[in-house]
């Protein structure tokens, strides 16, 4: 027959293992990855200029151009790697190596811990682009000149960097609760 102490320990063991895995996981190294250029729906030819920013402690960034079919992205046909020195990055991918069509730009940071996708990028190398690489200014509401930026989409949960520590705290509270209930049940049956 299993003793009461082993039952209490066995009840809290899965929670303790899950807590240990969450603590040991390096999934919180980079906090956010944002691609500012190109925007979804852009048509490009020649060199695809990719600019963006990454917040956190990421050291590497892999960028790839993958064919898009019915909203799903396939495997990248053209890839490049960027060694990150700061939060901002800028690089380019030659689109002449891929046939004309619709593609996804896939960005993966820190060996897969953080990623983002920009869809609906149309590659049209057969068209000549006389203004390639030229950013036209736009008028702002206050009369000054500004460069158009991609809209920032807020998450339903707010800042996602809080989600990891929040899950870790809830797991720790549940572990203490399970261990406490196990000890209470042991004393109750012993009495």
Per-residue pLDDT of 119-149, as tens digits, reads 888 888 876 545 555 556 666 566 555 555 5
pLDDT 10s digits, 56-86: 777 788 898 999 888 788 888 888 888 887 8
pLDDT at 28: 47
Peptide bond preceding 38 in cis form (omega within 30 of 0): yes
For residues 103 and 98, give the distance between their C-alpha atoms in angstroms, rounded to a whole number: 10
**Strand-pair partners of 47:** 94
The answer to whether the pTM exceeds 0.95 is: no
- Spatial separation of the C-alpha atoms in residues 88 and 106, rounded to whole Å: 17
């Amino acid at each position: 027959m299993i003793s009461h102490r082993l039952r209490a320990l066995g009840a809290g063991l899965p929670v303790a293992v899950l807590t240990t895995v969450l603590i040991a996981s390096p999934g919180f190294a980079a906090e956010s990855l944002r691609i500012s250029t190109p925007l979804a729906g852009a048509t490009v030819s020649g060199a695809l200029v990719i600019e963006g920013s990454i917040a956190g402690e990421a050291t590497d960034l892999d960028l790839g151009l993958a064919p898009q079919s019915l909203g799903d992205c396939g495997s990248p046909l053209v890839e490049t790697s960027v060694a990150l020195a700061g939060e901002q990055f800028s690089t380019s991918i030659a689109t002449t190596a891929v046939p004309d069509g619709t593609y996804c730009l896939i960005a993966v940071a820190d060996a897969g811990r953080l990623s983002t996708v920009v869809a609906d990028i149309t590659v049209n190398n057969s068209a000549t682009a006389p203004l390639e690489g030229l950013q036209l200014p736009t008028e702002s509401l206050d009369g000054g000149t500004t460069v158009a930026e991609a809209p920032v989409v807020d998450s339903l949960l707010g800042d996602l960097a809080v989600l990891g520590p929040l899950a870790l705290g809830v797991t720790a509270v549940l572990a203490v609760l399970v261990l406490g209930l196990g000890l209470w049940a042991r004393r109750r049956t012993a009495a």
